[in-house]
Amino acid sequence: MLETRAYSLIPKMGEKSKPTSLLIRGGHVIDPAARIDAPMDIMLRDGRVTEVAPPNKIRGGAEEKFDARGLIVAPGFIDLHVHLREPGQTYKETIASGTAAAAAGGFTSVCCMPNTTPTIDSQEWVNWLRQPERGAVVNVFPVAAATHASKGAVLTDFRGLQRAGAVAVTDDGRPILDNDIMRECLRLSGELSFPVVQHAEDTRLTENCPMNDGPTSFRLGLRGWKTSAEASIVDRDVQLAQQIPNARLHVAHLSAADSLKAVRRGKRSRARVTCEVTPHHFTLTDEAVDDYDANCKMNPPLRSAADIESLVVALGDGTVDAIATDHAPHASHEKQLEFERAAFGITGLETALGLAITRLHREHKIPLARIVELFTEGPARVFELRGRGSLARGSHADVTIFDPKKRWTFDVSKSRSLSRNSPFDGWQLTGRVIATIVGGRLVYRGE
């Protein structure tokens, strides 16, 4: 039933979208980019924000009205890091199912990673991802491969990929290890203002390491993935970014306290270095692996309590630019295996806001406005998504409406993702998405 409601406002294929208007009344707007944190009404018309004004000041009628009393109205959330698994891995996820999960999690834009089958390393595939036939219900921004087939040897056509609509390049799932290749990537990124996203892992040190190195890995008899294997790559990349004019480096799913040092150093030196942190890395420690729970296996792995402490500080103080989910759906047969053989990654779109509010806001007292920033203005700036991440007049009409006090229980069996690999099944969370609006149209309505 929720499904029909969620999709009812989306134009059917081929149907020309009629002009629409939607008035969101009575809510409390938090828009860090526009420095708004106050009760406001918002008018959306023809896919744009046309007016933001104090309560009951907006004149002129709207075809639809949304009563947001008691709710937070924020710019549409942006996820810099998702795996939609299309093309080629549609048994895990499709663009349609992945974006439906995104909508349910309050995300109006997702940036999808290129490690599909085949790898997204050409303009044709970037175009393909963006075609309406894919059935996306939220905006999809492709991140293309930095090297052919992400093999780390030959650079892709950055300029062409950017022209086709890619917002960044990465070999995610694999690092760009070679110094010369990384230097060349960063040089081009500076020229084109086209971020290079690095999966920071020195794979020469992490072979057969399914979890974090520490007491738990020793106890379970598993080889440990040391934080230094991440930090050393972040360190090298920041050094390169400091040397190359305008280089744009974005560190994906930063997990270790050690890696933050290099990011801070880069930011202080005014190098264009950004980073993201996932909800699972600020929520769970490696102890969650407990008795070989493959839903706690991801790359980078869950770290120690001390790492979480440092990540929380960095999320609060501005070192971290964005919360990104690294939503990584896998079929059950890829997870119900011996721990070392199980696939890396978990789903995360539907639990991100709840975890951020529960952990960062309620437990660690990070202000709600900062959390909204990490989901909106922060990520919009990282990939330079113009007209997104803010509700300033003229912006895209992407809005996320949520109840920061609503308690709810995540039930993975009801997930909109095709996959079920979440460690948060049955978790009680505070903070729930009530409505997700993309281009002025309601794409998700929660309770």
Active-site option among 237, 326, 398, 403:
326
Closest-CA residue to 282 (of 310, 263, 259, 247): 310
When the beta carbons of 293 and 309 are compared against another protein, the nearer one is 293
300 prior amide bond cis, ω within 30: yes
When the beta carbons of 289 and 366 are compared against another protein, the nearer one is 289
Tokens 């980073």 sit at which residue? Answer: 275
When the beta carbons of 64 and 340 are compared against another protein, the nearer one is 340
Give least dist CB 336 to another protein, A.
Answer: 6
* Element holding 50 (H helix, E strand): strand 48-53
Written as six digits, the tokens of 416 are 């909109």
As a dihedral over the C-alpha atoms of residue 112, residue 288, residue 264, residue 276, rounded to 10 degrees, the angle is: 10
* Cα torsion 351, 411, 287, 291: sign: negative
Written as six digits, the tokens of 105 are 């999690």
Give least dist CB 393 to another protein, A.
Answer: 54
Give least dist CB 338 to another protein, A.
Answer: 4
- How long is the chain? 447
Give least dist CB 422 to another protein, A.
Answer: 16
The answer to whether 213 is a known catalytic residue is no
- Per CB under 8 A, residues contacting another protein are 213-215, 218-222, 290-292, 333, 336-341
Tokens 């690294």 sit at which residue? Answer: 326
When the beta carbons of 128 and 292 are compared against another protein, the nearer one is 292
Closest-CA residue to 78 (of 105, 49, 110): 110
| CB-based contact 331:85 (threshold 8 Å) | no
Task: Classify residue 371 by burial, with Cβ atoms within 10 Å: 0-12, 13-18, 19+.
Answer: buried
When the beta carbons of 204 and 333 are compared against another protein, the nearer one is 333
Give least dist CB 304 to another protein, A.
Answer: 12
Instruction: Catalogue the active-site residues.
Output: 326
